[in-house]
Structure 1
């Protein structure tokens, strides 16, 4: 029997017939609701320029390290997946990259990537057969032909996907001209908002830190080692983002460590960081202080503070040297929130003006730390499963881990956190199906009634992210 890529209408719903019937109804009630995406990494220029996507390899493989890392593990060189190398070695042309991917399609069985790709291929391109070495060229031609039509331009897809809000991730010194142009364009009715991402300006160990703070000083017209001027400049840049529609500031940190150094000690460490003489231990202290300062700024300007910790970046030195960052070798590490975040929560944890969304790749912290924190502190919300754990079984584990302690009202709503624009509907649909499955079990077990489940299912899609991210 030939393998089919056709989508099962009951995919991800419970196997038990009675529970599945309830889940079907719950899913149907939210399936067509708009997409609210308050944190992601789509380039706003994609929407502004509205140019055709170049080819299937660029669209689905080249920039998706979920996809490239598994082929690399199976022995495929990254250059053969179209990723440029620092030494200038030849890279495969797009059709050959696609052939390689199709020949390795079996690697993605059971993975979140495989699930999202299957959904995208079936719903957008009417592909009903598994990619393979034999049909690679035919599938490439089908997708390429579709990409050349007006219906597959980014703005047309934005409307087709039903995206209500799409947040991007942006450098603090970005002039946000693209966002301003989109907001002023009468032909575009969507909402695309920037996100303030200051990692390279507050972490002395971040690549390019010295250059970044010098550029900030030049913009702010102060001496680069002037700590007070540095803080004022960050505050001004945040205001610039707020004026352009930003609702959040995002922090990618090794650990959610916070500390109050006091202004004098902070100024001393900042001067050392600017000069390049700071130790790794003191760099950690300064970053912890700047997270606390960032919370203070969020209380003042209203930007939601999201923390994404626990990633060992560029684990493979040889791969980083050859191909650079974001090429599939970032690895999760354990995190600790209770002690690390306490200085921040002691000061701002119950401040109504702070919304603090905590994410994790380390699943052990959900029930032990994040849910209990969110179940007490008014400012704290539970970030949706992220990166390595935004997958079907992990999402259900997440729901089970946090709900009994913190309920549904302390969650962020689903966060797709993606650069892969075409995967956004697949990811949100996955989340809606899994929430329907989880709620259906509670209904069938008599733990909540059906009306409550329907209300919660809808709230998780629109009302909750709208509230948490102050949309």
Structure 2
């Protein structure tokens, strides 16, 4: 299924240069600074249960396409929150997936799945209705073998470092287990979204967890700040090099401690409004940036997603089911307060992501091309694709250059897709650089230096790995 020249420019001269560039980085170790792999997977190293549970059920890139075509999530084995009966037979789930595999033609999900099938499991024919059970049997047989245990796959994928995403109140027990054992290079990432969102339904439970872990009362704004700082220190002790923050709007505003205390008290009393939550969140982005200046943790900002847009799906199945939708996002005014306070600090790094491609050339590249602290994260989510990556390079490079960008991260929940995603990124970057060479914008020596930086050096530098 996998053509050796896939994703390269069809022009023969450009393709030859792209292939040379890709060959230079094809086998470099994978640096994975941001993603959503469950650390328990690698800590326990238990066999994957079956092909459907591995490749379909946890991957919202896979399930959202099927849902868009009228297939109910219940049919795909997605666990329900409201008691809705769901399919539990892995083979029936797989057959349904195979019957509709044609839906992924031309999509990044299709590219990743084909790479997984052939590169990981040795399947060289296209999945369809007729061969569904034969392919299932082949993957199932693989999963029984020791070389397909999670840790063996981690090593076979040549992963140099893997960073997870963990709530501020997470005990990090699985990270600690791996560190105590001395296995792997798996690092946590501090994500305090629930703790700093006064309107979140789990806000009180989350700050109580933080209080229990830190010994802080969490009854005042001052103790809340101390609790967050203590958790950051623990994450850093456990190997963390970064934080992560998901907001709808990247609005930043500094308020004084008395005003912050008043908002915090309203939240404890259950009387905080959405406006209160918005103002507190804007202030907390300032505080979290201040903390990053002081403790050196890289700050990632992922704005612009209307989370859980499909209320029915959210109520039945919870979050992260493929129904988050992008929003237009403004950065220049929203980040003005934060960047004026901390954007010139030599110890601060702010990695900015977007779901709004129109912001690349209009705002993000100019911000990264000026503020020493600002770095552009790679194309994220809906734009983590062949054409999305090319658009990013075309829109951002002339203003930000290559060296104000953060390389690549796979942002995956589907563990076997990690090498596929990195392979796509390396092929696309090789294509973009080859186009610059054939247009005589850069020479081949420059291109060979840049491809290594984009594949490995930049991400290690930006994330302090």
Instruction: Classify the TM-score, shorter chain.
Output: over 0.9
Map 1:414-433 onto structure 2 (within 5 A): 414-433=408-427
Task: Name the structure 2 match of 1:457.
Answer: 451
The secondary structure found in structure 2 opposite 1:334 is coil
Kept in 2, the 8 Å contact 1:224–1:274? The answer is no
Using the alignment, how far apart are the partners of 2:221 and 2:362 within structure 1? 37
Q: CA deviation at 1:89?
A: 3.2
Q: Which runs of 5+ in 2 are unaligned?
A: none
Task: Name the structure 2 match of 1:288.
Answer: 282
Map 1:12-91 onto structure 2 (within 5 A): 12-91=7-86
Q: CA deviation at 1:237?
A: 0.6
Map 1:35-434 onto structure 2 (within 5 A): 35-92=30-87, 93-186=89-182, 188=183, 190-434=184-428
Q: CA deviation at 1:175?
A: 2.4
Kept in 1, the 8 Å contact 2:211–2:227? The answer is yes
Using the alignment, how far apart are the partners of 1:294 and 1:381 within structure 2? 17
Q: Which runs of 5+ in 1 are unaligned?
A: 1-5
Using the alignment, how far apart are the partners of 1:199 and 1:16 within structure 2? 46
Q: Which runs of 4+ in 1 moved over 6 A?
A: none
Using the alignment, how far apart are the partners of 1:174 and 1:158 within structure 2? 23
> TM-score normalised to the size of structure 1?
0.97
Q: CA deviation at 1:197?
A: 0.5
The secondary structure found in structure 1 opposite 2:300 is strand
The secondary structure found in structure 1 opposite 2:166 is coil
Q: CA deviation at 1:279?
A: 1.3
Q: CA deviation at 1:222?
A: 4.2
Using the alignment, how far apart are the partners of 2:446 and 2:41 within structure 1? 39
Task: Name the structure 2 match of 1:3.
Answer: none
Pair 174,362 (structure 1): closer, same or farther in 2 beyond 3 Å: same
Q: CA deviation at 1:129?
A: 1.5
Residues matched between the structures, number:
464
Kept in 2, the 8 Å contact 1:443–1:453? The answer is yes
> TM-score normalised to the size of structure 2?
0.98
Using the alignment, how far apart are the partners of 1:404 and 1:147 within structure 2? 46
Using the alignment, how far apart are the partners of 1:217 and 1:244 within structure 2? 19
The secondary structure found in structure 2 opposite 1:213 is helix
Kept in 2, the 8 Å contact 1:205–1:280? The answer is yes
Q: CA deviation at 1:73?
A: 1.3
